[in-house]
Amino acid sequence: MLKIHSIETFWTHEWPWIRVVVFMQWCKLKCLYCHNPDSINMSGWIEITKEEIIKKVKQSKAYFGKKWWITFSGWECLLQAKELLPLFEELKRLEYHIAIDTNWFIYNNDVEKLLWFTDLVLLDIKHLYDENHKKLTGVSNENILKFANHIEKINKLFWIRHVLVPWYTDDEKHLFDLWSYFKDFKNLERLEILPYHTIWVYKWRELWMSYWLEWVKTPTNEELMKAKTILEKNIEKVFIRR
Ligand code: SF4
């Protein structure tokens, strides 16, 4: 049984293709700017079987033409890697393109097996410097960088997603160091800059949780373009995803 937040069967934004997106429940990070604080904990989830997901996915096949795409996102999908394995196996048998959107904090044998069936990894890198990563997310980035190196080693195609948060992740040295770190990764296909937003702050208020970044503004176009210019020195395919 899988614990999910929701399923979108016609997801057209944020992704380069029309996709089914399964949003899994639960995350071990505590990002200061989390857009879904309601789903960090294992509560309020929907329980669903592999068969029910396959049924939903098949019902949406009409949109897709010849290629069928699905993404497992979160919060953090890999926390349920063991439960996802039979589903991935079945989706691959049905010739789906499978992507996982992950902060890659967790790694175990089940995750390794899941990678066999995964076509594309969308890897969230919150901050390159460990101390800053801890401040932003509550955890070290040691495992995350270790596993970024692992997917490069096993030749798995991946994208990096980086949230540009003014005052936290946008200084020139950090951006330069971050992408210098990844510039020789041959399997890095694309790098996306995601502008920090405040549209979900209301969720924190509704949950009576303190939102510490209330004073931080969404980066301006100028700031986004500046970050893109720095990153493009090292990596060809840099995009701003709004
Ligand atoms: S990794 Fe994503 S889901 Fe988890 S706390 Fe951070 S923003 Fe929220």
Percent of the chain with pLDDT over 90: 52
- Count other Cβ atoms within 10 Å, centred on residue 123: 21
Lowest mean pLDDT among 36-40, 121-125, 201-205, 226-230: 36-40
The per-residue pLDDT for range 145-184, each reduced to its tens digit, is 998 999 999 999 999 999 999 999 999 999 999 988 998 9
* Position 113 confidence tier, pLDDT thresholds 50, 70, 90: very high
Distance of CA 88 to the CA centre of its chain: 18
Calculate how far, in angstroms, residue 93's C-alpha sits from the geometric centre of ligand 1: 30
Calculate how far, in angstroms, residue 75's C-alpha sits from the geometric centre of ligand 1: 5
φ and ψ of 93, to 5 deg = -60, -35
Ligand 1 pocket, 31 CB below 6 A? yes
The per-residue pLDDT for range 6-50, each reduced to its tens digit, is 898 887 766 556 788 999 888 888 899 988 777 666 566 889 999
Q: Which residue has the higher pLDDT, 206 or 233?
A: 206
Q: Name the nearest CA neighbour of 219 among 174, 170, 177.
A: 170
CA dist 234 and 120 (Å) reads: 21
Q: Taking the model in full, what pTM does it have?
A: 0.91
232-242 as b/e: b if 16+ CB within 10 A: eebbeebeeee
Distance of CA 189 to the CA centre of its chain: 15
CA dist 20 and 200 (Å) reads: 23
The per-residue pLDDT for range 175-213, each reduced to its tens digit, is 999 988 998 999 999 899 999 998 888 888 888 788 888
Ligand 1 pocket, 77 CB below 6 A? no
SS (H, E, C) 62-90: HHCCCCEEEEEECCCHHHHHHHHHHHHHH
What average pLDDT does the segment 120-132 reach?
A: 95
Report the top-level CATH class of 2-240: alpha beta
Q: What is the pLDDT of residue 193?
A: 94
Calculate how far, in angstroms, residue 137's C-alpha sits from the geometric centre of ligand 1: 8
Q: Which of 25, 75, 127 to mutate to test the pocket of ligand 1 (most atoms within 8 A of CB)?
A: 75
